[in-house]
């Protein structure tokens, strides 16, 4: 059978082995999984309670407006509900960003080594990938490469801090960089671990409200999979100006996030104790 020819160039994502399988294979009692950076402290206790208390809703499709969680995120970040999209993991928002901006005649830019999913989603569409020689985020080299290929590059990914290498640009570097980029190029700020970096160093903190008030071509991505201990619930979010969110919505399938995931995320947002412990 013939498939989309671009699929030939894609290496299938290999996720780490399941804890139970490893325990069986090596006859181990306790296994701590680090491969996908799940929270080693487990599930937020408040989220756990919410999942149990709402399990009777599992037969229903979720509230597709997702307004309860959207409002909570809007309040947290001091933005409007219209500035938020919720996905089945922030992975899904990465997919929307690529599909909304790119096709096989265009390109995206990232540092030498970053989160694997950017490249996988891009290659599905035959999008060209530009990577800096530097493995980590070198802001000058990123800009040089952008300038050279600015007619093609329509998306730039900045992973802050970077998965898997761990380095993190300062906020001022990021803002100065974005100012130099054309408004028709979408900049994706992947903040999957930004809470961790900014807890230790305030200069790493990216405030989504400040970001989207200043720039119309930026989306900030956050996830419930790491800090909040909900990797298995598959839920994350994007914050951007309404124009970008509206474009992403055209790519969204209805009911893309499970109702128990919405309830768990809503509860986890307020689980201060667990957040602090993590």
Candidates 95, 119, 190, 271: give the one binding ligand PLP (CB under 6 A).
190
Q: At what angle do helices 67-77 and 259-269 cross, to 10 degrees?
A: 30
In the complex with ligand PLP, which residue's Cβ is closer, 83 or 114? 114
In the complex with ligand PLP, which residue's Cβ is closer, 127 or 161? 161
Is position 192 an interface residue for ligand PLP (rule: CB under 6 A)? yes
| Strands (DSSP E) found in 61-103 | 84-87
Candidates 62, 208, 231, 238: give the one binding ligand PLP (CB under 6 A).
231
**Minimum gap (Å) between residue 132 Cβ and ligand PLP:** 17
Is position 223 an interface residue for ligand PLP (rule: CB under 6 A)? yes
Is position 90 an interface residue for ligand PLP (rule: CB under 6 A)? yes
- Give the range of 7-15, 143-151, 180-188, 218-226 binding ligand PLP by CB under 6 A: 218-226
Is position 119 an interface residue for ligand PLP (rule: CB under 6 A)? no
Tokens of 44: 């937020």
Residue (of 255, 219, 213, 214) closest to 84 by Cα position:
219
| Strands (DSSP E) found in 117-179 | 128-131, 153-159
Is position 109 an interface residue for ligand PLP (rule: CB under 6 A)? no
Is position 89 an interface residue for ligand PLP (rule: CB under 6 A)? yes
**Three state DSSP letters for 22-69:** HHHHHCCCCCCCCCCCCCCCCCCHHHHHHHHHCHHHHHCCCCCCCHHH
In the complex with ligand PLP, which residue's Cβ is closer, 118 or 146? 118
Is position 239 an interface residue for ligand PLP (rule: CB under 6 A)? no
Dihedral sign from CA coordinates of 112, 221, 62, 234: positive
Is position 39 an interface residue for ligand PLP (rule: CB under 6 A)? no
Is position 163 an interface residue for ligand PLP (rule: CB under 6 A)? yes
Tokens of 96: 């929307």
**Minimum gap (Å) between residue 233 Cβ and ligand PLP:** 9
Is position 44 an interface residue for ligand PLP (rule: CB under 6 A)? no
**Minimum gap (Å) between residue 26 Cβ and ligand PLP:** 25
**Minimum gap (Å) between residue 2 Cβ and ligand PLP:** 30
Q: Residue 277: in which H helix or E strand, if any?
A: helix 272-277
Candidates 236, 241, 259, 271: give the one binding ligand PLP (CB under 6 A).
236
Dihedral sign from CA coordinates of 139, 115, 122, 83: negative
In the complex with ligand PLP, which residue's Cβ is closer, 154 or 226? 226
* Cβ-based burial of 228 (10 A; exposed 0-12, middle 13-18, buried ≥19): buried
The footprint of ligand PLP on this chain (CB under 6 A) covers a number of residues equal to 14
Cβ neighbours of residue 181 closer than 8 Å, sequence gap 6 or more: 146, 156, 187, 217
C-alpha to C-alpha distance for 17 and 114, rounded to whole angstroms:
21
Positions touching ligand PLP (CB under 6 A) are 37, 89-91, 115, 159, 163, 190, 192, 223, 225-226, 231, 236
């Amino acid at each position: 059978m013939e498939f989309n020819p671009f699929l030939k160039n894609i290496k299938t994502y290999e996720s780490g082995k399941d804890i139970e399988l490893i325990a069986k294979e090596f006859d181990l009692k306790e296994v701590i999984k680090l491969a996908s950076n799940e929270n080693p402290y487990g599930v937020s206790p408040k989220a756990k309670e919410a999942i149990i208390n709402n399990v009777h809703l599992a037969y229903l499709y979720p509230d597709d407006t997702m307004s309860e969680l959207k409002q909570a995120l809007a309040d947290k970040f001091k933005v409007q509900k219209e500035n938020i999209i919720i996905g089945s993991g922030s992975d899904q928002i990465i997919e929307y960003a690529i599909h909304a901006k790119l096709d096989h005649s265009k390109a995206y830019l990232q540092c030498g080594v970053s989160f694997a999913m950017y490249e996988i989603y891009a290659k599905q569409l035959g999008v060209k990938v530009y990577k800096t020689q530097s493995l980590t985020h070198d802001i000058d080299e990123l800009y040089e490469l952008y300038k050279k290929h600015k007619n093609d590059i329509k998306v730039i990914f900045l992973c802050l801090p970077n998965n898997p290498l761990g380095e993190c640009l300062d906020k001022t570097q990021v803002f100065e960089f974005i100012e130099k980029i054309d408004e028709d190029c979408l900049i994706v700020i992947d903040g999957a671990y930004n809470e961790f970096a900014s807890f230790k160093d305030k200069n790493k903190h990216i405030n989504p409200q400040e970001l989207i008030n200043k720039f119309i071509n930026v989306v900030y991505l956050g996830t419930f999979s790491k800090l909040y201990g909900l990797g298995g619930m598959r839920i994350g979010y994007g914050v951007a100006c309404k124009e970008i969110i509206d474009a992403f919505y055209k790519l969204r399938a209805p009911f893309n996030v499970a109702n128990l995931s919405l309830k768990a995320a809503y509860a986890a947002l307020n689980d201060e104790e667990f957040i602090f412990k993590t």
